[in-house]
Chain A
Amino acid sequence: MYFAGIDVGSLTAEAILLDGSRVVASATRAARANPLESAREVLGEVCRARGIAPGEVRHTISTGYGREAICAEGLAEENLSEISCHGYGAWCLVPRVRTIIDIGGQDAKAIVVDADGGLDRFAMNDKCAAGTGHFLEHMGRTLEVELGELGRLAQSARRPVHMTSRCTIFVETEVLHFLQRGHCRADIAAGVADALAERVAALARRVHPSRELAMTGGVAKNVAVRREVERRLGLPLVDLRFDPQLVGAYGAARLAAQRGGNP
């Protein structure tokens, strides 16, 4: 029996197809301006991959920015907040996980789940983009480095630079000045990763993170950021052994299975 989760965020769109509780297909794409297009694409992609018609999916849950539009369009039976979905998804992957830091395109969230993966408490950045994927995206562009490369690059840093500011706009100018003054990209990338981790850690502290800490969302792929977050919180990050970008969609799919009457 098939279940699906669709997560359409501000930067990327993902879908996961489950057979029972087993992942049988997944898709990731850059988000289009219109979330419905993104949703149709990723949903179609996973169904094609499995060779089934969208109609054969028993229950679908949408999440992320586009969740309500997608639901209204009938592409999903119901929609849930990405906060619940990321929390539940991470918990399904590693049931001992209690604190999840999800860094999306414009929102960063710190989520605490209970022993059953239910939402206990959470915090969300209400003011500043400094701790989000958005920040990294812009720094990557300024540094002319592929987003995926940023983390590895930062790891080769010898003398990491220190960003004096927290504000995205400022840091961006600082990055330019460091470049113009001839600092190497690796050292600057490390500085950027630390600046981001600093904000992320500040957010995480609001939910009083526990030892079983995991990171989801695209930024979680950045090894340098992971390391800095661990250092600043003094907590090791649990490895979910799963594409962190897909955790939201996975959580939505597992909730679809749970709520859509998976025997």
Chain B
Amino acid sequence: MQKITREQLIEKASALLSNSTVSCVLGWGMGEFDYDVTPTTFNSVEELEKGFVFSDFCGANFSKYLVKKAAACEGKILVFLKPCDTYSFNQLLTEHRFDREKVYVVGIPCEGMADINKVKAICGEGILSIGSKGDKMTVTTLYDDEPVSIDAKEVLAERCLNCKSKKHVAFDELLGDEGDVIESNRFDEVARLEAMTPDERFAFWQNELSRCIRCNACRDACPACTCEKCVFDNPNSGVENKSPANSFEEKLFHIIRAYHVAGRCTDCGECSRVCPQNIPLHLLNRKFIKDINEFYGEYQAGAEEGQRAPLVDYTTEDLEPGEVFDRRDSDA
């Protein structure tokens, strides 16, 4: 489904390595299967040729890696960023989390990434290979004699179905065609929950969050969660917590996680992508984004470097906390 090819990316990376613009490349490394791609640093053209892949399963947002890798790389590091990744990139720059001068950004177009869970929901377990051609994916499995052809749109990840932008907001160079900010329906699901009764909402989240195993994947993959030490890991914070002993602690962790990134979250969707329990964590973040948009005016974190996040800003005319509900009730 992707319009840009592995070969184009390798060619670009090789050129930048060869003319010493960059000394290493952050890209996608080949896995055991066609879908288990690992973020990998490549140091030479040979390594790229051997291990670099690009496919519909290259969803990982590389921005956060730059916090560690930009400093560790001797020269500049080349990073391939999809449009949504560039928002995180800007947000991290706004927060001074790495040195822009150490990074060379090649913006690449993205047609939306696939969700392997959706592929498996259609094709079942036992996937041997996944090929992609145009809008179709060809899946061979252990249990089907013939390869199964599926519509690539059908297996798009949730975040890509609700893609907010095909436009790169930060780059040194672009490959392929530049897109635009998109009118998405990403808040529909939040609105659906808002329309429920409190009891229904409570039941919904109780069910979702009860699956949480506190593996911290959501936090550790989140490009906004780059704290040197998370409050939940810090024995001196007073709220250190390693596992959810009960439903209160499940809620506490996820409320605070979302609150700490409120106004900073770019809605990249990594939290939900990596959740082993498929908890729709992005809905918590989106709730904050939707509220901020409605209360304080449209705000897209990471749209520009140096923006002031809404929760570290104010106007004298802001609405009162009590009016939050009056507003919504009158809307309803």
A and B co-occur in one complex = no
A binding-site residues for B, Cβ under 8 Å:
none
